[in-house]
Each structure stands twice: as C-alpha cells, then as structure tokens.
DNA sequence: CTCTTTAATTTGTCTTACAAATGTTTAGCT
DNA sequence: AGCTAAACATTTGTAAGACAAATTAAAGAG
C-alpha cells in the first residue's frame, strides 16, 4: 500500500526535478517565447536521466500550455513570456491533490453555470440526450437500485448541453472523484433518490423551456440536499 | 502547418480507437469496479498495436479517473461502475478542443468564486504573495511595459489563496490560453493597464480586509472591461 | 547571388530488455 | 493432511537503441 505511494512520489519527484531544471534552463539561457529548447537527447544527457523521463516532463509542461512540441522540429517555449513561465512552473510544482470538499465546491460552482448555459443554448439533440439520461436515472431509482452513476451522467449531459467545452472537460475531470466519494460516504440513500427524480425532472423542464434562471434555481434546490450531506462528513 | 495537425489527429484517432476497445472489453467481459484488466502486453497483442500506444491510452483513462494503474501489479477498473464508465468514455471521445470564448467564460466564473473564497480563507502568507504579485504588476505598468503576465500571475495568486486545489488547478490549465489570446487580440492596452492598477488594488484590499462580497464586486467590475473586449472579437 | 540537392537533426514510435515488486505455485517439513 | 517458505512467473515502470518521417541547415552548381 505504502510502496505504491512511494514509487509514485519518487516518480513525481524526479519529474518535478526535471521540470524545475527546464525552468532554470529557460531562465539561464534567456529563452523567449517561440525559442527552441535543446533536443530531448541533449536534455537527457545534460540532466543525467533517460529520454523518456524528459519526454514525460515536457508533456506535463505541454499539458499546462508552457511548451509546444512540434513533431519533426523541436520543443518550443510557449507564447507566454518568462515571468509567467516562472510563476506557473512554481505553481505547478506546488500543486496539491484535490480533496473531496474542493471537488464538491467546484462541482456546485460549475453546475450552477452549466445549467444556466444549457437552458440558453441547448439544441434539440441535447434535449434528447438529456431525456435519455433522465429516464435511465428514473428507471433505476424506481427499481429500487443505486443510481449514483445515472445521476452523474445526467449532470454530465447538462454540461455537454452548456456548449462550453472547457466546463464540460472540467466536469469530466471531477466526476469520478465525486462518484467514488459519494458511494464511500453513502451520500445518496433511497429517500434522497426518490426526491431526486422530481428535482431532475424540474431541471430538465426548465432547460427544455429555456428558462435559465429557473433552471439555476432548481439546481440550487437540488444541491441543497447535498450541502448538508457533504459538509457533515 | 497542416502536417502537424494531421499527425496529431492520426495519433488521437489511434488512441481513441484503443480507448474505445478497452471500453468494449470491459463491457464484454463484464469487468466490475476493482477488477483487473489484461496486461499491457496482452492488450497490445490483442489490439495489434504497440505497448506504448496501449500505455498512453491507459494513462488518458487514468487521468479521467476511469482506471488505476498499480506499479508491479496491474491496471484496475476504477470504483465507478460500468454505466458511468461507458457514459464517460463516450464523452471523453467526443470532447472538443476549448475555444477562446469558452476559456474566458470559465475564467470569469472561476475567479468570481476564488476571489470570494480567498477573502474568507487567505492566510498571512497568501497576503504576502498577493502583495508581491500586485507590486510586480504595478511596477511593470508604471514603466510603460506590457503587463499581461503579471496581471495573470496576480489572479493565479488569488486562486491559490482560495484554498481550493481543484479551482487552482483549473485556473492553471486555462491561463496560458488566456494569455496567448490576450496578446494576440491586444485585449489589454495601456489605458486599461493604468485602470487595472486601481482595480487590482481594490481587489487586494477587499481580500486583505476579508470582505468576500466586496471582493467579488470589485472582481466583477474588473471583468466588466474584459467583457466588452472579449465579446467584440 | 539564387536555386537545388544533400546531409544532419529532431520528435515520435517501436522493439527489446531489465528492475522491482507482487501473486502464484510448488516443495519440504511437521 | 496442513502449514511454511522458497522458487517461479507475471506485471508495470523504465531504460536504451534503432528507425521513420519530416524539418532545417548546409553545401554545391549554375
């Protein structure tokens, strides 16, 4: 159990060390946006690590938009300047793992927005998908089974209907953590699920009728139950 | 130019195909949460691709929390059930790249929350960091130079002070895209920067005095200028 | 000086191999 | 037979080498 954490952090430490060295290199060599980094081979020799390690570090920096790797050409400093580069690398290295409370807080914030946007922008196709997800959830609850997954899929359908790809991605990122913790702490029991049907239907109707404010209000109502559960953990 | 996009999408298509196949396999073999997937070697043979391709696909699914790789043991289905698994894989495969409007919309949403949380939870250390970022920004503007980077770093410092690691991560993810587009469309010119100093100071004071509502109001005011620029693009 | 051809670089990928740890099986002992 | 302990096989993670594809730099000819 502990070994897994150890190897993972070992890997993390190595990767972070390489990221830090790449940052130093950019500073020391005064590399500006658009400039090319030394090749992966040279970096691996310079840092005394394998090329795959260098590649992983570069890919992480690419994920956060600080570098751009272009296939048969090289890796380039992104168009964001040295100061932002330094600040962001520092932030990335000190980033801590998300806790449950942080996830729930973010989820509520995101969903109060996605539901409003969905009510404004939803297409007919979105409505169909929402209806499908709603029916699947309702059926599962009426069968007396656990419906946490169907619940979340309905909410993901809303995120998709919002037409905002960034929020959609973020919802996807936090959803597994939400599901796991919900099942762990038994956030949703039978009584809540029964009540959930009505609430989901009201949210769906508000989106269908394109009433953003109403949709938001209903979502807030829906989360009201979660609040008391989540903050009692 | 087009070649890069082609190879990237080629790679994407292969990776998505593998992800899809892994999903099918989980369905077909009725794998439940906690069950072990076939080894990477077996999957690479079964799918007729290299092991590195399989690893990349698994890592992507791990990023979205659907799988868990444990070092010298195997890859396991995450604790989220088959229905959610299928729904999320479908969503992940259809995910589209974020556009500028989507980024700005999300940024505004996130920051109106982080600034409120920062006003409530900020520590003395947070305040020091905020002050540093604020001074760096002010100095740069007074020198008549471009201060987009310092601007964003101040906002990142607020995200950090919010004490919500998820929102902090999300802000880091969207920041490079924001900076790039700001500089591209010249969102912030000299006049705005001058005005920005006062607004930043007001936000800082509200956080310092722990006035969440005031902080949010000042942030909204600050974004008011951005609105008209962003939605005119 | 300009254009074309050639050579060198570089990322992306595949293959092979090994290390480290985990499960599994088997042999030996009581 | 039952239990223990050691050997064996499996699996992920990682390293190293090699090649393809394409870009970039260089050299050479006119």
Question: DSSP assignment, residue A36?
Answer: B
For chain B, positions 32-91, list CB contacts with chain A under 8 A.
63-66, 70-71, 78-81, 83-84, 87-88, 91
In chain A, what are the domains?
Answer: 2-93 (1.10.10.10), 100-230 (1.20.120.530)
pTM over 0.85: yes
CB B36 within 8 A of CB B29: no
Report CA A5 to chain centroid distance, whole Å: 22
Q: What is the mean pLDDT of chain A?
A: 89
* Strand C contacted by A77 CB (< 7 A): no
Report CA(A73)–C1'(D25) in Å, whole number: 12
Q: For residue A13, what pLDDT is reported?
A: 80
CB atoms within 10 A of CB B185: 13
Indicate the SS3 state at residue A77: strand
Query: In 3D, which of B44, B46, B70 has the Cα closest to residue B57?
Result: B44
Residue A192 has pLDDT above 80, yes or no: no
Q: What is the mean pLDDT of chain B?
A: 90
Q: How far is B14 from chain A (nearest CA, A)?
A: 17
Q: What percent of chain B has pLDDT over 90?
A: 73
Q: For residue A6, what pLDDT is reported?
A: 41
What's the whole-number mean pLDDT along residues B89-96?
93
Nearest to A91 among B65, B96, B160 (CB): B160
Query: In 3D, which of B80, B47, B42 has the Cα closest to residue B61?
Result: B80
Residue A11 has pLDDT above 80, yes or no: no
For residue range B68-78, list pLDDT tens digits in order.
999 999 999 99
**Alpha carbon distances (Å) from A86 to A28, A93, B100, B149, B203:** 12, 11, 24, 10, 24
Q: How many CB pairs under 8 A join A and B?
A: 157
Q: How far is B202 from chain A (nearest CA, A)?
A: 22
Q: Do A91 and B7 touch (CB under 8 A)?
A: no
Q: CB under 7 Å from any atom of strand D: which residues?
A: A 7, 10-11, 14, 49-53, 71-73; B 3, 7, 37-42, 55, 69-75
What's the whole-number mean pLDDT along residues B77-91?
93
Q: For residue A227, what pLDDT is reported?
A: 73
- For residue B2, name the pLDDT band (cuts at 50, 70, 90): very low
**CA pair distance B2, A153, nearest whole angstrom:** 36
- For residue B229, name the pLDDT band (cuts at 50, 70, 90): low
Q: Which nucleotides of C are covered by protein (CB under 7 A)?
A: 9-16, 19-23
Q: For residue A224, what pLDDT is reported?
A: 85
Return phi, psi of residue A67, to 5°.
-130, 160
**CA pair distance A175, A167, nearest whole angstrom:** 12
**CA pair distance B63, B68, nearest whole angstrom:** 9
Residue A191 has pLDDT above 80, yes or no: no
Q: How far is B53 from chain A (nearest CA, A)?
A: 14
**Contacting residues for A182 by C-beta, under 8 A, at least 6 apart:** A148, A188
CB B55 within 8 A of CB B40: yes
* Strand C contacted by B49 CB (< 7 A): yes
- For chain A, the farthest-separated pair of C-alpha atoms sits apart, in whole angstroms, at 65
Q: For residue B53, what pLDDT is reported?
A: 94
Q: For residue A1, what pLDDT is reported?
A: 29
Query: In 3D, which of A19, A31, A82, A84 has the Cα closest to residue A55?
Result: A19
For residue range A48-83, list pLDDT tens digits in order.
999 999 999 999 999 999 999 999 999 999 988 899
């Amino acid at each position: 159990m502990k070994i897994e954490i150890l190897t993972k952090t070992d890997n993390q430490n190595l990767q972070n060390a390489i990221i830090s060295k790449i940052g130093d290199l950019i500073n020391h060599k005064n590399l500006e946006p658009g400039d090319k980094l030394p090749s992966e081979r040279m970096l691996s020799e310079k840092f005394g690590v394998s090329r795959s390690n260098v590649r992983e570090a570069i890919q992480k920096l690419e994920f956060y938009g600080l570098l751009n790797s272009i296939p048969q050409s090289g890796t380039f400093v992104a168009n964001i300047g040295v100061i932002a580069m330094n600040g962001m690398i520092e932030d990335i290295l000190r980033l801590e793992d998300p806790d449950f409370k942080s996830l729930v807080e973010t989820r509520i914030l995101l969903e109060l927005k996605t539901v409003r946007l969905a009510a404004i922008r939803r297409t007919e196709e979105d409505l169909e998908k929402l209806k499908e997800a709603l029916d699947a959830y309702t059926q599962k609850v009426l069968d007396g089974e656990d419906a946490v997954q169907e619940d979340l899929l309905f909410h993901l359908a809303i995120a998709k209907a919002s037409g905002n790809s960034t929020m959609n991605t973020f919802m996807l990122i936090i959803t597994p953590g939400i599901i796991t913790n919900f099942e762990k702490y038994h956030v949703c029991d039978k009584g809540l699920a029964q009540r959930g049907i009505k609430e989901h239907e009201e949210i769906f109707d508000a989106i269908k009728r394109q009433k953003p404010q109403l949709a938001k209000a209903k979502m807030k109502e829906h989360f009201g139950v979660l609040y008391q559960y989540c903050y009692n953990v």
